[in-house]
Chain A
Amino acid sequence: MFENTKKCDVQSRQYLLFQENTIPRTFIFSYLASTNLKSQNLKQFFQSHGAHHQWSCKGYSTIPYCLPTCWLQCHVDISDQILEFNMHGRVKTKTNAEDKEAKRKEKEKKLKLYQTGIEKAFTKRKTGEYDEESLAISAQLLTANPDITTLWNIRREVLLHFKDEGQRTEDDLQQQMQAELCLIEQCLRANPKSYAAWHHRRWVLDNMPIPIWKQELALCNKYLDLDERNLHCWDYRRFVVERSQVPAADEFEYTSKKILANFSNYSSWHYRSRLLPLIYPDPMGKLPIQERKHKEELEIVQNAAFTDPSDQSAWFYQRWLLGRTLQALRLAQVHVSYDTVCVSLTHSVSVICDKSKIRLELQLNGDNFPTTWKSTNGQQYSHVWISALPKELLSGDKTLAITVSLHSGSSLVHYMSLNSGKLKASTKPQFSAGFSEGITSVLQDELDSCTQLLDLEPDSKWTLLTSVLLMQAVDRHKYQEDTLARLSQLIQVDPHRSGYYKDLWSRYKMEYAFDQNNELDQNIDLSCLNLTALYHCHYLSCVHTLDLSNNNLSGHSLSQLHPLQCCQVLKLDSNNIANLHGMPALMSLQILSLRSNVINIPDEVKYLEPCICLSSVDLSDNPTEKDEMLQELVKTFLPSVKMLNTCPL
């Protein structure tokens, strides 16, 4: 594996060589310095490598700009040995004493070069010597290690000095910047992932008299042919595209070309996902892209995925195309008790932060009622918000008309009214994908193909998972059983991610359970569902009794229960709960049952303190049940509790 990487690296160097025939002087100087060649030997050196151009050996300034590639070839071989340093992929090798000594000497030499160089560079900067020599010294050091940011800074200072000094012509400056670009290319050969080198290239392009964008785009093409996953080069490409206003459609064409050359090209799929919404936006604003293109993309990616089902790239992209349509922000549920109003929203928002522009307003009998909102999770952003009401408001015979309205900026987004004594209102949660018939029929075809593929390769993980997502997108009710069956199978065939599949199972199970309950209030039974996680709890803000017994929930999940502000009875028997520190403040909770869990420290009951109405806590069949301290701790922290370890129901 490592050998392959190395080989590819070597090939890339050679490939680069044949693209180049112009070399500026600083570039050459850096080469020479790194190979310790004295200037008087230059002529001989050049000639011995086939350079027959006119030149003078008085100084490097007259070295011809054009050199044959064979000269470069030989130089790259030498430059391989200069002081490259990188912390990744350095294979440890056993060496004998002789080799060790040779290596030590070699390093000593390199070190000396580095130390003298950097000291000189820093001193010259201190004394304000912004000159060619400064450029030459830093070039030498940077070709060996392009990550020394300060040296790039020094170069920028020198180059800006040349510009400001006003003694150089536009042509000179252009030439100088071109030289800079060549140096950067050289540095990128030492480390194609050097942040500092790539950034310097941006800086040069933004500061040279005439940026040659075509040349830069060609460079990106070249580098991406060598390594199609080089993040830095892709980023640089986007910079070039933006600055030179390359049409998005051209870039889209480029990704198509790259993908056709190799489906397993995550970087290209990624770029596509960014370009598509620019070129083909959905006029309705609900889908990531317009329907016709969406269908086309689905077909392309299916083709890619089926060509090589073990390649991840296409499957990830497909999952994006299968994503649920964007849901609008709405009120989900409103509930009023005698002294609190509790509002649940479809999204997590902040209604207290001025900058988010989202506001909740309360009207009583048509009049605005100023109130302060508090999130139920204690965070700045939450799905559920509560506010205190004056107790006398709902007492007596008066019937109140209550309206909760949601505003974004100056516009009303949604409102819910509670009239003639009604105390709650809710909208049904929407879990289906919401695709059009056209898209759904494409997805149905894909699902059929997946099923066929599974006949041949029943354990293909990617096909199994994608078929689950397709079933959810096509018709989640029709495929309920199949969805769950394939998830169970995934837990078996891909044990590394069994935790993920179990939680996905929990999510679907809860969604199905929510669908079955027309009104999400009063009693909700979520017991015996094999739940390992809790999802969409903001749809439980009106529930009075919730049964989560006989699942596989751990203590981590408790904090998800913060929306249960109306819940009076909560059953969590027979789970894997070991601690209670995630327990939110549930203001209406009276009866809490935690039978048959694994709580072994009595101190955990302290975390129930914020549930101020608790009258019964059942911890029977937990390791801590018989602990002497338990009674005492309950008395201290939960003074309202009358019943411990007995079931009042």
Chain B
Amino acid sequence: MATLMKDIILSSSHPKELLLQKHADFISSYGVNKDEYEYCMTEYLRMSGVYWGLTAMELIGNLERINKQEILEFIKLCQDDAGGIGASVGHDPHLLYTLSAVQILSMYDALDIVNVDRLVQYVKSLQQPDGSFCGDKWGEVDTRFSFCAVACLSLLGKLEEIDVEKAVEFVVSCMNFDGGFGSRPGSESHAGLIYCCLGMLSITGHLHYVDADLLGWWLCERQLPSGGLNGRPEKLPDVCYSWWVLASLRILGRLHWIRRESLVTFVLACQDPETGGFSDRPGDLPDPFHTIFGLAALSLLGEPAIKPVNPTYCMPQHVVDRLGLRPQKLTL
């Protein structure tokens, strides 16, 4: 029984140059028409959508095209009495969107427009006795939320408000035979969750728990002949994994374990030459999610036209520097 290698074949018709201006146009046109179907259907994740768009614009030096005041007003409206922030007005607070909001406010240096004390209390209230974090009051536990919690609190300079050792203990209990991490103890390794767990350990300075060679090898095996990266063995490549895998390798000091040029070719091929924006794979429809991760990946790969991005926070490096944060990175 021969396995079919799951990959795509790049054709010569796909873009080979970076279409920066088109991406800026793509992001800034997104949401101009608030009654557009695609826009409305993503209301439930709006706050993250805004974070993706803003980070993309800042990385390509076009942030001024975004209406800052409108966004700050929006965030204010999304904070609920308990302190947490929801995806959109009327939607319930959740750690995912609380982090996105804090990332946006950090970029704008405007943290004071929300009630930070309550926000911190909200994050703190979601830590469980085993150290894990729930996403909201309805009890879903996931290592994604461990990352959200520590990323959020570290951006606010309030990491000491939670039991960091316990939080680390939980994340480490999610480590697998392949050196990777899943969403809960026993869950299979997945590049997105590996990124969250490494990010969490990087922020709290506990990367020594990781078998960096074993995990680094698993991560570099995500690169397929097309140059693209998948998120798990025997899966298709996808631009968003260019970020999850690449940022993880960067945190581990092993970015050179994949072939840079082939990944650049793949990511560039995922651009939409008509509308701008990146899609998951060449020829698919673009969206802001894949656009930020495509751009951030190119930044990590050294593309000079894009500002440096911080691998732990997926935020512009100069913002992380301004906040005086130095998330841990390994070297070889």
Contact = CB atoms under 8 A, between A and B. Distances in A.
B1 A262 contact: yes
A313 B208 contact: no
A308 B2 contact: yes
B76 interface: no
B6 A507 contact: no
Nearest to A103: B37
Interface stretch (B63-71, B115-123, B182-190, B313-321): B182-190
Given A150-B91, A234-B188, A145 B44 contact: yes
B177 A317 contact: yes
Contacts of B290: 87
Given A87-B290, A556-B253, A556-B331, A312 B234 contact: yes
Interface string A137-154: 000000001011110110
B320 to A, nearest CB: 17
Contacts of A153: 92, 136, 138
Nearest to A382: B208
Contacts of A254: none
Interface string A174-205: 00000000000000000000010001001100
Interface in A211-268: 229, 231, 234-235, 238, 262-264, 266-267
A102 interface: no
Given A147-B44, A556-B331, A316 B234 contact: no
A564 to B, nearest CB: 15
B94 interface: yes
A605 to B, nearest CB: 20
B206 interface: yes
Contacts of B214: 319, 323
B258 A313 contact: no
Nearest to B180: A270
B332 A560 contact: yes
B112 interface: no
A229 B232 contact: yes
Given A118-B43, A270-B177, 19 more contacts: A85-B38, A87-B280, A89-B281, A89-B284, A145-B41, A150-B87, A150-B90, A195-B140, A199-B139, A262-B1, A263-B1, A308-B2, A355-B165, A496-B258, A497-B221, A500-B220, A500-B257, A504-B213, A560-B332
Given A122-B90, A560-B332, A89 B234 contact: no
A312 B142 CA distance: 27
Interface of B: 1-3, 5-6, 8, 35, 37-38, 40-45, 86-87, 90-92, 94, 136, 138-140, 142, 165, 176-178, 182-184, 186-190, 205-206, 208, 213-214, 216-218, 220-221, 223, 225, 232-236, 238, 253-254, 256-259, 262, 272, 279-281, 283-285, 287, 289-290, 328, 331-332
Interface stretch (A30-38, A106-114, A431-439, A476-484): A106-114
Given A91-B285, A92-B272, A556 B332 contact: yes
Contacts of B139: 199, 203
26 contacts: A107-B37, A145-B44, A149-B91, A150-B44, A150-B92, A203-B138, A231-B183, A234-B187, A263-B1, A264-B3, A266-B232, A310-B3, A312-B234, A316-B233, A319-B178, A323-B214, A347-B208, A356-B165, A379-B205, A380-B205, A381-B205, A496-B223, A497-B220, A497-B257, A500-B220, A534-B332
A299 interface: no
B257 A348 contact: no
A165 to B, nearest CB: 20
Contacts of B213: 503-504, 507
Given A88-B238, A262-B1, A270 B332 contact: no
Contacts of A496: 220, 223, 225, 258-259, 262
B272 A270 contact: no
A111 B35 contact: yes
B178 A270 contact: yes
A267 to B, nearest CB: 5
A1 B259 contact: no
A308 B1 contact: yes
A503 B188 CA distance: 27
Contacts of A156: 138
B166 to A, nearest CB: 9
A108 B281 contact: no
Interface of A: 1, 83, 85, 87-92, 107-108, 110-111, 114-115, 118, 122, 145, 147-150, 152-153, 156, 195, 199, 202-203, 229, 231, 234-235, 238, 262-264, 266-267, 270-271, 273-274, 288, 307-308, 310-313, 316-317, 319-320, 323, 347-348, 353, 355-356, 379-381, 495-500, 503-504, 507, 533-535, 556-557, 559-560, 582
A75 B161 CA distance: 52
Contacts of B41: 83, 85, 111, 114, 145
Contacts of A235: 182-184, 186-187
Given A91-B284, A348-B208, A379 B187 contact: no
A108 B36 CA distance: 8
B44 A148 contact: yes
A308 B234 CA distance: 13
Nearest to B45: A147
B22 to A, nearest CB: 15
B242 to A, nearest CB: 14
Given A1-B8, A500-B220, A559-B331, A313 B44 contact: no
Contacts of B262: 496
Contacts of A323: 214
A381 B287 CA distance: 41
A92 B234 CA distance: 24
B328 A114 contact: no
A500 B257 CA distance: 5
Contact of A320 (B45, B177, B190, B287): B177
Contacts of B136: 149, 153
A556 B329 CA distance: 11
A88 B280 contact: yes
Contacts of B208: 347-348, 381
Contacts of B42: 85
The 9 closest A-B pairs by CB, nearest first: A273-B177, A348-B208, A533-B332, A107-B37, A499-B256, A320-B177, A500-B257, A199-B140, A90-B285
B40 A229 contact: no
Nearest to A199: B140
Contacts of A316: 178, 218, 233
A90 B277 CA distance: 14
B236 A270 contact: no
A316 B254 CA distance: 19
Nearest to B38: A85
Contacts of A114: 40-41
Contacts of B328: 379
Contacts of B285: 90-92
Contact of A150 (B86, B176, B188): B86
Contacts of A356: 165
A199 B289 contact: no
A356 B166 CA distance: 11
A91 B283 contact: yes
B233 A500 contact: no
Contacts of B182: 231, 235
A92 B279 contact: yes
Contacts of B183: 231, 235
A150 B206 CA distance: 34
Contacts of B256: 499
A231 B213 CA distance: 25
A92 B283 contact: yes
A266 B187 contact: no
Given A85-B41, A150-B92, A557-B331, A313 B283 contact: no
B37 A111 contact: yes
A358 B131 CA distance: 21
Contact of B217 (A149, A150, A270, A500): A500
A308 B1 CA distance: 7
A560 B331 contact: yes
A179 to B, nearest CB: 19
A83 B41 CA distance: 9
